[in-house]
Amino acid sequence: MQNLRIHWHVFREGEGSVVHSYYAGADRLQDQAGEFQGRTHLSLRTLSQGWVSLGLTNVQPADSGEYRCIVVDTHYAVTGDVILQVSVPYETPQISVLYRDGNEVRWQCEARGGYPEAEVTWHDGNGKQLMQSEPTEFLRTREGVCIVQSILTASVHGARSVCCSVLHKLLRQNTSICHKLPGSRLAIKYESYVNTTSGLD
């Protein structure tokens, strides 16, 4: 084991960072990138089976990237790559009326707390798609998750429902909320299927 050297690196947009290093029989973390300090652990229990396991705790959206493991011993050297894509489900979207002038209404749909960016669509109560008035806006919080905002301006006649759907393709999460005019309660429809792994093993 004294001759065994293990190095984990992550590559994002062509730039590499040290995630974890092991050599001379111990972890060597002096070159570890600051973002990974206190968050990694290396398991050698499966080394005889050809596996070197890296654990990563407190996984964040910024951890997404291509991870490369390099194992070097006296008689061999092997390299393996794995892609980590962190996905976070969105909260139930909310619709608010920004203004109403006669039959013309301007709505905003907002969904928070997800990652990566989601797709937003509008439709009426009969399922007919409505074109949003402005491009969808994506804001990033300090935690690295997204706030998605979309604007729709449309004319309404009588009681009519307008619905906003937020689609998270990676998690296959589709969440919709509908607003009925005039003056009715907000009707919510929520459908979600989530299957995600947030770590390296």
> For residue 182, what pLDDT is reported?
59
pLDDT value at residue 197: 29
More confident residue, 4 or 193: 4
Mean pLDDT taken over the chain:
84
Domains of the chain, start order: 5-84 (2.60.40.10), 94-192 (2.60.40.10)
- What burial letters (b/e) apply to 38-69, b meaning 16+ CB within 10 Å? ebbebeeeeeeeeebebebeebbbebbbebbb
CA separation for the pair 3, 24 (Å, rounded): 6
Under the banding of pLDDT at 50, 70 and 90, the label for residue 36 is: very high
Q: Quick check: 88 pLDDT over 60?
A: yes
3-state secondary structure of 71: strand
Residue 201 has pLDDT above 80, yes or no: no
Give the max Cα distance, the chain: 80
| Secondary structure E strands in the chain | 5-12, 15-23, 26-27, 40-43, 53-56, 65-72, 77-84, 94-101, 104-114, 119-124, 129-130, 137-140, 146-155, 160-168, 173-181, 186-192
Is the pLDDT at 142 greater than 80? The verdict is yes
**What tens digit of pLDDT does each residue of 105-120 get?**
889 999 999 999 999 9
* 123: phi then psi, degrees, rounded to nearest 5: -155, 160
